[in-house]
Structure 1
Amino acid sequence: MVFVKRSTLVRPASPVLNGFGEFPYRNRLLFFRPPSQPLSKIITHMKQSLAAALSEFYPVAGRISVREDMRMQLECNNHGVMFSEASCDRTLPEGDKFDLDPEFLLELSQAPGHEKDLKQCYTFKVTEFSCGGFCVAMKYSHELMDGTSFWHFIQSWAEVSCGKPISQPPFVVPFPIGIPSSDAPPPPVPSGGMLTLLDRNAPDPGLFGYKSFPRTRRFRFGKLMIQALKQRNPEYSTFQLLSSHIWWKVCLARGLGDKDTTKLFFAVNCRGRFPHLPKEYLGTPAAWAMASAKCGEMESLGMISSLIKKTIREFSEESWGVSAGFLEHYAGGESSDKAVLDMRPDKDLYIGSSFYFPVFHEFSWGTPCEMAMAQAPANGRMYYFPGKEKGSVDLYITLQHQAMDKLENDASFCDMQAS
């Protein structure tokens, strides 16, 4: 049981100027072993260093509002982020078996002010365990930032907490970089099968049509497993190889036939790829890419990896501009349709997050002993994070129970020696 002690609205330390498709909040949790000083003192320093970081990342302290045309806008109004304190009667797990049940992780991540209608961009919640360890749970709005910007902010907060200057100040633009809306006729659905139109009032196909809700599970791929993948196929990147391995194994666990077409959707970070997007850009400059194949054609890890490599190589600002224009046209409420990824949850996979994110940074109160996410949102969703062991990867994936059971019983899924 988690007991909330108090909640505080933390504003930026110095005033800043006003001026500036919908996604749910993302939640990430960092766990720390019992510190050498009182947690109350640490929390005071947390708020002070957080306020200083917010002065640089001032959009985070703003609020998201919905315009009359149903499009969202960010108001940089200096309102701050909610910071809650809580306690629980459980102890942190010891050793490598750091597994907390999903229901408890969701409870840890809940905090006053996180609900969508309040339009806050960010919330923090510190929960003290009975052993003296604690958890810092963070919720952030995906309308404001993607995972790259989120961990950039957390890394900067860690630096400030240690008395250091922010090594990479954020690049903030007064107006979002995007495709301007126009009165032109509706654009056609882009070719390639990545995007489609769905009735705006239709339910999410990933949440319905099943007798039971899907299950989320974390898998850990050790450094030796990653090295084995690379040694067998040195011409491909870790992302290409690991994603191919998971995609292939999930198709087998789902029992897909040779003639079934399966798609792999993944985000491409456009920072540094496009000339107007520096790597410090604060926002959501991530674009979608997609690889597809008939299951019967997925004959080897190298063949599947070549599909992903080809998709990444052919990705361009011009090709994404076509998709972005299509998405922008249907972003508001003028149309009865909405643009969505053409994803079939029973056959396809969607990759979010990255195992390159700087998760385990040193704060003045210590380095996280573990990181977790509360829950992947729907069937077929998977998220990468760096493992605690350098060179390892943590995977969170959500599948229907039957497919998840088969994946859990596949000894070669997380161990190349078993294949």
Structure 2
Amino acid sequence: MEVTIKCSYMVKPNEPTYMGVFGLSEWDQTGMITHVPTVYFYKPSQEWCTSSTRSIIDTLKESLSRVLVHFYPLAGRVRWIRQRRLELMCDTMGVELIEAESSNELSDFGDFSSQTNLFENLIPFVNYGKPIDELPLVLGQLTKFRCGGVCLGVNISHILADGQSALHFMAEWARLARGEPLQMAPYFNPDAFRSRQLPTKSLTPCDMHTELGTPPLLTGQENNLDERKKVTTVAILPLSKDQVESLKKVANEGVNGPNTYNPYTRYEVVAAHVWRSACKAREHHLEQPTCLGFSVDVRNRLHPPLPPKYFGNAILDAVASSRSGDIITHPLGCTCATIREAIEKVDDQYIWSNINFLKNLSDLTPFQDLHARKSGDGPFYGNPNIGVISWLTLPIYGLDFGWGKEIYMGPGTHESDGDCLILPGLVNDGSVKVAICLQLAHMDAFKKYFYEH
């Protein structure tokens, strides 16, 4: 898709804000410290376009400058300090907002799910070849299509925000653009995850390093460099409410009665099904070790829980491990149980063990995806592993900047083997969409097994 950049603006808070160093937690500095792309497509009504006294780009710029007064850390820059740590400078350098246009039309995207390859030029580019202190933490791109439709592509640094926090920012930005007041200011507390003395025995450094360390390799391989280089492709695969319910019924068969256990959740069941389908499609040996990586929101798992609208990273990466043979040959409920066991392990003590472990490291590089992207080292959830992240509980739909709600919202481009997102269906009826990136050689087989249940 050909896109022409018309103009680029650096938008800053329109009122004075705090200037100085803003502390970052270990979770802000580990895992994904790159940007997370999302896209929103809109079809503004002709009435809005002709009656509005301000253009869409002017509306976005003005409301962005006002919302940044409340979300001021997003207008800053991060920099490297000792021990490969990062700190945030609140210096109001600003958020980049790009105005672009394309000769394409919204109809060129069909139902969007099969045209994710067209998204790349609709999302603002982040040049990770530059020093990190030159990179905006938020970038937005408004692209106008020939038909009158628009796309807002957004890249938000995971250093500053997890999914809950990023969507809080987007919702308040849209609210101000509509002419409404701010609903709830973000809660900043850089000290929320300072080390805490655990009252009982915690996980040992060895145990924790195993939890956070390098996922399994394909049997017979010494590294994953060859797997990283293989061509990948992306698919967005829908599951209707009936299909999800069918999977849940199969997964819960044979478990000890409905009154003595909690049925497996939609996430547990779909993630288990994805894991099994991937193992089959990749044609693993039965003894092949494999893991499923996922993230757990800890806001309500801490004691006491974090305050509402805590802004930052409050998610902990965890893993479920098994053998491909067990996943393929055992009932689906067994894989669900493996995933649930890994989820339930994330309690208050486990969370603080994780934080303390990271704080005591002399170098965070092995746990930062930016370095893995450049060097090929570090955790890789491609073959034989998979990373299945849930957006099922996130308020991802209904973002209205004043010209109506989006007609499509989804993840931006991602090209790493094993990346998978589970999103709720548009009408929130229990259906889901599975956005997955796999090696091209495995995708057709994956689709076959995915829809065989």
Cα–Cα, structure 1 residues 115 and 148, in superposed 2: closer, same or farther, change >3 Å? farther
Structure 1 residues 89-108: aligned runs within 5 Å: 89-93=103-107, 97-99=111-113, 101-108=115-122
1:222 matches 2:225: no
Residues in 1 aligned to 2:419 and 2:4: alpha-carbon distance in whole angstroms? 31
Match of 2:272 among 244, 260, 266: 244
What one-letter code is carried by the residue in structure 1 that aligns with 2:148?
G
- Cα displacement (A) at 1:236: 1.1
Cα root mean square deviation, aligned: 2.9
Unmatched tracts of structure 2, length 5 or more: 23-29, 197-203, 216-222, 253-257, 369-377
Structure-2 residue corresponding to 1:369? 407
Structure-1 residue corresponding to 2:374? none
What one-letter code is carried by the residue in structure 2 that aligns with 1:52?
R
Q: Deviations over 1:289-311 (max 9, x none)?
A: 21112233231121211222222
1:53 matches 2:67: yes
Cα–Cα, structure 1 residues 219 and 129, in superposed 2: closer, same or farther, change >3 Å? same
Structure 1 residues 144-223: aligned runs within 5 Å: 144-175=160-191, 177-179=193-195, 188-190=205-207, 193-196=210-213, 208-209=226-227, 212-223=230-241
Structure-2 residue corresponding to 1:318? 349
Structure 1 residues 39-78: aligned runs within 5 Å: 41-78=55-92
- Cα displacement (A) at 1:85: 0.4
- Cα displacement (A) at 1:253: 0.9
Structure-2 residue corresponding to 1:184? none
Residues in 2 aligned to 1:144 and 1:179: alpha-carbon distance in whole angstroms? 19
1:81 matches 2:95: yes
- Cα displacement (A) at 1:330: 3.6
- 8 Å Cα contact 1:29-1:371 kept in structure 2: yes
Residues in 2 aligned to 1:280 and 1:51: alpha-carbon distance in whole angstroms? 20
Structure-2 residue corresponding to 1:300? 331
- Cα displacement (A) at 1:129: 0.7
Match of 1:291 among 287, 301, 320: 320
227-236 or 386-395: bigger deviation: 227-236
Structure-1 residue corresponding to 2:201? none
- 8 Å Cα contact 2:228-2:417 kept in structure 1: no
Structure-1 residue corresponding to 2:199? none
- Cα displacement (A) at 1:312: 1.7
Unmatched tracts of structure 1, length 5 or more: 181-186, 199-204
1:14 matches 2:15: yes
Residues in 2 aligned to 1:177 and 1:324: alpha-carbon distance in whole angstroms? 7
Query: What count of residue pairs does the alignment treat as equivalent?
Result: 400
The secondary structure found in structure 1 opposite 2:84 is coil
1:403 matches 2:413: no
Residues in 2 aligned to 1:82 and 1:348: alpha-carbon distance in whole angstroms? 35
- Cα displacement (A) at 1:396: 1.8
Structure-1 residue corresponding to 2:37? 27
- 8 Å Cα contact 1:113-1:120 kept in structure 2: no
Match of 2:427 among 378, 385, 389: 389
Cα–Cα, structure 1 residues 7 and 331, in superposed 2: closer, same or farther, change >3 Å? farther
Cα–Cα, structure 1 residues 283 and 116, in superposed 2: closer, same or farther, change >3 Å? farther
The secondary structure found in structure 2 opposite 1:28 is strand
Structure-2 residue corresponding to 1:352? 389
- 8 Å Cα contact 1:197-1:338 kept in structure 2: no
1:124 matches 2:140: yes
- 8 Å Cα contact 2:45-2:403 kept in structure 1: yes
The secondary structure found in structure 2 opposite 1:164 is coil
Cα–Cα, structure 1 residues 389 and 116, in superposed 2: closer, same or farther, change >3 Å? farther
- Cα displacement (A) at 1:325: 2.9
Match of 1:271 among 299, 323, 347: 299
206-215 or 354-363: bigger deviation: 206-215
Q: Deviations over 1:244-273 (max 9, x none)?
A: 111111111111222222211110111121
Q: Deviations over 1:341-390 (max 9, x none)?
A: 76562111112351222121241111010123232242112122233232
337-346 or 127-136: bigger deviation: 337-346
Would you tell me which structure has more helix in proportion to its own residues?
2
- Cα displacement (A) at 1:214: 2.1
- Cα displacement (A) at 1:66: 1.5
- Cα displacement (A) at 1:174: 4.5
The secondary structure found in structure 2 opposite 1:246 is helix
Residues in 2 aligned to 1:250 and 1:197: alpha-carbon distance in whole angstroms? 19
